[in-house]
């Protein structure tokens, strides 16, 4: 049964899921970056990270999960989540997909955002993430404003139309498993 992994680079829970989804759900999972901000708007929701006490509680929970999963300690980018959000990183991920390097780009983007705590909302982001992933930045930049933009919009619109509740979500067939703590459930549903 097909499996799709929807994610956004600004979500620490998506970072946690991205580090484990292939091992738990399967290496053939289709990775699909989506614009989380537009999913939230479609569901008329505000993220947990905008208000206290859910912000502090959620950050602590993410840090505890990272430790439990054997991941490096989380470092939060300056101004996270609002000031660190950008569509450019998601468009660049789709551009990397076009050249067969989506997972490499995504891993490097997550590392820059939540391991190094640099964030993704700066002019050097595409070049730096590409270099970390061993990708020629010119290859990604060539696809960024056309293919990358169009694929991000299409993937986000499809996720909204399908009722994807947020990120990270693994979709098995037509069933959505929302949250990094639902990967095992998605794997079981897949059979």
Q: Sorting pLDDT into bands at 50, 70 and 90, what band is 178?
A: very high
Query: What local confidence, expressed as pLDDT, does residue 144 receive?
Result: 87
Is residue 123 over pLDDT 90?
no
Alpha-carbon gap, residue 86 to 178, rounded angstroms: 22
Query: What local confidence, expressed as pLDDT, does residue 21 receive?
Result: 98
Pairing mode of beta strands 3-7, 169-172: antiparallel
Query: What local confidence, expressed as pLDDT, does residue 136 receive?
Result: 96
Q: What is the pLDDT of residues 68-95, one digit of tens each?
A: 999 999 999 999 999 988 999 999 999 9
Q: Sorting pLDDT into bands at 50, 70 and 90, what band is 11?
A: very high
Mean pLDDT of the residues in the chain: 96
Contact present, 67 and 91 (Cβ < 8 Å): no
What's the whole-number mean pLDDT along residues 22-39?
A: 97
Of 50-54, 83-87, 124-128, the least confident: 83-87
CATH number (domain holding residue 79): 3.40.30.10
Contact present, 16 and 96 (Cβ < 8 Å): no
DSSP-assigned beta bridge partners for residue 6? 32, 169
Number of structural domains found in the chain: 1
Is residue 189 over pLDDT 90?
yes
Is residue 102 over pLDDT 90?
yes
Is residue 145 over pLDDT 90?
no
Is residue 176 over pLDDT 90?
yes
Name the nearest CA neighbour of 76 among 134, 106, 44, 120: 120
Please give the C-alpha separations between residue 119 and each of 40, 88, 112, 116, 155, in angstroms, as whole numbers: 21, 12, 6, 8, 23
Is residue 1 over pLDDT 90?
no
Residue-number span of the structural domain to which 53 is assigned = 3-190
Q: Sorting pLDDT into bands at 50, 70 and 90, what band is 191?
A: confident
Query: What local confidence, expressed as pLDDT, does residue 148 receive?
Result: 95
Phi and psi at 94, nearest 5°, equal -65, -35
Contact present, 14 and 133 (Cβ < 8 Å): no
Query: What local confidence, expressed as pLDDT, does residue 74 receive?
Result: 97
């Amino acid at each position: 049964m097909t499996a799709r992994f929807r994610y956004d680079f600004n979500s620490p829970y998506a970072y946690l899921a991205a580090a484990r989804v292939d091992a738990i759900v399967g290496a053939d999972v289709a990775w699909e970056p989506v614009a989380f901000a537009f999913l939230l708007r479609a569901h008329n929701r505000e993220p947990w990270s905008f208000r206290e006490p859910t912000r502090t509680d959620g950050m602590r929970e993410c840090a505890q999960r990272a430790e439990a999963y054997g991941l490096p300690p989380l470092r939060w980018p300056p101004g996270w989540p609002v000031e660190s959000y950008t569509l450019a990183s998601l468009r660049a991920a789709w551009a990397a997909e076009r050249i067969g390097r989506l997972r490499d780009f995504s891993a490097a983007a997550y590392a820059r955002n939540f391991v190094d705590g640099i964030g993704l909302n700066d002019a050097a982001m595409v070049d730096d993430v590409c270099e970390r992933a061993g990708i020629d930045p010119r290859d990604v930049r060539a696809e960024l404003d056309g293919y990358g933009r169009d694929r991000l919009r299409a993937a986000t619109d499809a996720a909204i139309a399908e009722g994807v509740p947020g990120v990270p979500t693994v979709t098995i067939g037509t069933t959505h498993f929302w949250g990094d703590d639902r990967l095992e459930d998605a794997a079981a549903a897949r059979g």
